[in-house]
Amino acid sequence: MHGCGGLQPFMRTYAEAAVAAGFAAVTIDSFTPRGLSRAAAHLVVCTGLGVHGQRRAADIFAMLHWLKGQDWADADHVAVAGWSHGGWTILDALALSPTTARATGLIDVDLEALSRVKTAVLVYPYAGPFSTAFKQGWGGRRPRVAAVLGGKDQVVGFKPAERVLTRLSADGLTIDTLKFDDATHAFDDDRASDPRTRHRPDYAARTQAFFAQALRSAL
């Protein structure tokens, strides 16, 4: 699941890493079906004005439902991976309860489908004030978690993500963390336009290997 700027070319390298490791990969475009251009996404989503993580969680349920009809997919053993806003979406999707789902407007989602998620890969995820994962936890859901953080992330920071990961670890989840102390936000995106980011191809390669190992460990 892409970040707040929409689906970017660099994410194809992660899909290719998953395929090379022996898994099928699905990339989700959350914004084109919602009529959001890249410019509109920066204005509305990146600023927090709309399409919060809990609301975008609908895309995960749609994907899980769609996979059930695909004969090439093992729909009962799924990994979800998200970058920045996509990581927020995963964090808050797994925190949903019947009450919070209804409050968010997710009336018809099948919360039981989340049991098919065996691992969550979170790359520099947003976990700030709008996120509900720290306060609510993930209840009884126990996917394995792999997280990648940048110590110089000036976009979403790393301390909020560390805090929610500590909460999930205390709840009994298995957390594997890869942290680059001098990495910025979107360090693996060679086309990132934010002046606060700096591309690091070496860290990108290590993150892709970490991602592939997370799939092998859980699936």
In tens, the pLDDT along 70-112 reads 999 999 999 999 999 999 999 999 999 999 999 999 998 999 9
In degrees to the nearest 10, what's the CA dihedral of 46, 50, 52, 55?
A: -140
Helix (H, G, I), strand (E, B) or coil at 216: helix
Task: Tell me how crowded residue 76 is: count the other CB atoms within 10 A of its CB.
Answer: 12
Nearest CA among 165, 160, 173, 133 for reference residue 147: 165
At residue 193 the predicted structure's pLDDT band, cuts being 50, 70 and 90, is: confident
**CATH code for the domain defined by 11-218:** 3.40.50.1820
Rounded distance, CA 56 to CA 62, Å? 10
Residue 146 near residue 118, CB atoms below 8 Å: no
Task: Tell me how crowded residue 161 is: count the other CB atoms within 10 A of its CB.
Answer: 30
Nearest CA among 133, 201, 214, 205 for reference residue 167: 133
Rounded distance, CA 21 to CA 34, Å? 32
Rounded distance, CA 134 to CA 87, Å? 13
pLDDT tens for each residue of 146-190: 999 999 999 999 999 999 999 999 999 999 999 999 999 999 999
Bridge partner list, 180: 150
Q: pLDDT value at position 87?
A: 98
Amino acid (one-letter) located at 178 = L
